[in-house]
Amino acid sequence: MKEIPNYKKIEENLKPGKFSLEGFLGNDNRSLFDIISDDKALILQLNIDIKEIITRLKYFRDKGFDFDGTFIIVDEKWKVSVISHRGKTKCPFEDKGFFAKTEINLIYLPKNIEINYSDLSIHLIEEHGFFGGKGSLYRLEPEILKIALEL
């Protein structure tokens, strides 16, 4: 995970309008530092590994990628749909490079748990330990991920 050089500047980037219409913080009033620290502590408490989360998120994205938004069944337990939009997006943490604009919808059928994420979501978790602020569109709750991804 990369160190964040300037939390205040990155927090501005995560607000609505700069990198995303809705932003990445939702209705979370905590600082970016606290959001990331709290999620890191929760991941440890839940005894899950960020690498496992990333591997599973990429696995489902890759399984559904060639089906252009059509839901498919994966491993008899998950329903996945991947929509790829034209263009690319930048990381609000100001990393170099661009990320495909994808929308991944994953439903864990045994518990009917639905999660939505994107390629940028995967990057934000993998490189920055950022799961999104509470109430944000693509917030990925670690407790839900543990169940839905069978970690």
Nearest to 149 by CA among 55, 44, 45: 55
Tally of helices (H runs) and strands (E runs) in the chain: 5, 4
Question: pLDDT at residue 59 above 90?
Answer: yes
In degrees, rounded to 5, the angle at the alpha carbon of residue 68 between the alpha carbons of residues 14 and 118 is 20
Give domain status of residue 42, yes or no.
Answer: yes
Number of domains present in the structure of the chain: 1
CA distances to 35, 74, 92 from 130, rounded to whole Å, are 8, 27, 11
Q: What is the pLDDT of residues 125-137, one digit of tens each?
A: 999 999 999 999 8
Confidence band of 149 (pLDDT split at 50, 70, 90)? very high
Say what the pTM is: 0.90
At 10, the amino acid letter reads I
Give domain status of residue 119, yes or no.
Answer: yes
Q: What is the pLDDT of residues 73-94, one digit of tens each?
A: 999 999 999 998 887 888 999 8
Domain holding 54, by residue range, is 7-148
Give domain status of residue 2, yes or no.
Answer: no
Give domain status of residue 1, yes or no.
Answer: no
Backbone φ and ψ for 143, nearest 5 degrees, come out as -65, -40
Long-range contacts, stretch 60-69, CB < 8 angstroms, 24+ apart: 60/104, 60/106, 61/102, 61/104, 61/119, 61/122, 64/104, 65/102
